[in-house]
Amino acid sequence: MAKTLGIMGRKLGMTRIFGDDGTAIPVTVIAAGPCPILQKKEDATDKYAALQIGFEQIEESKANKPAKGHMAKADRGFYRNLKEIRLDSVEGYELGQDLTVEIFQPGDKVKVSGTSKGKGFQGFMKRWNFRGLPASHGAEKVHRAPGSVGQCAWPSKVFKGKKMAGQMGNKKVTCINVEVLDVRPEDNLIILKGQVPGPKNGLVMVRKQ
């Protein structure tokens, strides 16, 4: 798995832009960064290389005592969200340095991770797109029922992982090969082609592919 640089942001929502040929392109707008480096981890001391970044500055009174002591080392204030990014090497990065949307360029391919919208407890048709039982004569109140799910005398159980009704959504989802259409450093915005996981104002992580 590639260890690549990235920053955190908030999904502002979707809109559309028009290409040179007049075609409408659906896009997602993300307000990302700036994310200061709050901690550096190196192979010599931590057995791996990583950067810990912060996003969304908060007042000192909203941080607890351990968090204050940890974030005070970078002398960049206090942040609501912290994220660790593993890298092959952290040489060239300094404590307190800002990571901004300028690490991306139009045309780059990125991967975006976020928490999908929670749908609550759903049946197997909505959750797994099953077709349901026949709706012919004699089929009464079974149209959206799952039908048989177990085995015979052996092994006499339902295997784990069976696609059945249950909690839908509210899971970490990563979209890969998302194209960067535009980067606006003055507004800390990234314009991505297509959709990304999560609701409006949802926290997302954008990383280089």
- CATH code for the domain of 71: 2.40.30.10
Residue 132, beta-bridge partner list? none
Long-range contacts of 141-148 (CB under 8 A, 24+ apart): none
Q: Does 86 map to a domain?
A: yes
Residues 190 and 10: their CA atoms lie apart, in Å, by: 10
pLDDT higher than threshold 60 for residue 2: no
Q: Does 94 map to a domain?
A: yes
**Bond from prior residue into 155 cis (ω within 30 degrees of 0):** yes
Residue 78 sits in which domain range?
Answer: 6-140+165-208
pLDDT higher than threshold 80 for residue 205: yes
pTM: 0.86
Largest CA distance in the chain: 73
Q: Does 149 map to a domain?
A: no
Split into its structural domains, the chain has a count of 1
Instruction: Compute the mean pLDDT over every residue in the chain, rounded to the nearest whole number.
Output: 94
pLDDT tens profile 62-88: 999 999 999 999 999 999 999 999 999
Residues 113 and 173: their CA atoms lie apart, in Å, by: 6
Residue 33 banded pLDDT, cuts 50, 70, 90:
confident
Q: Does 105 map to a domain?
A: yes
Q: Does 63 map to a domain?
A: yes
Residues 76 and 57: their CA atoms lie apart, in Å, by: 9
183: which DSSP letter?
Answer: E
pLDDT tens profile 131-172: 999 999 988 999 999 988 888 888 888 889 999 999 999 999
Q: Does 150 map to a domain?
A: no
Q: Does 126 map to a domain?
A: yes
Q: Does 84 map to a domain?
A: yes
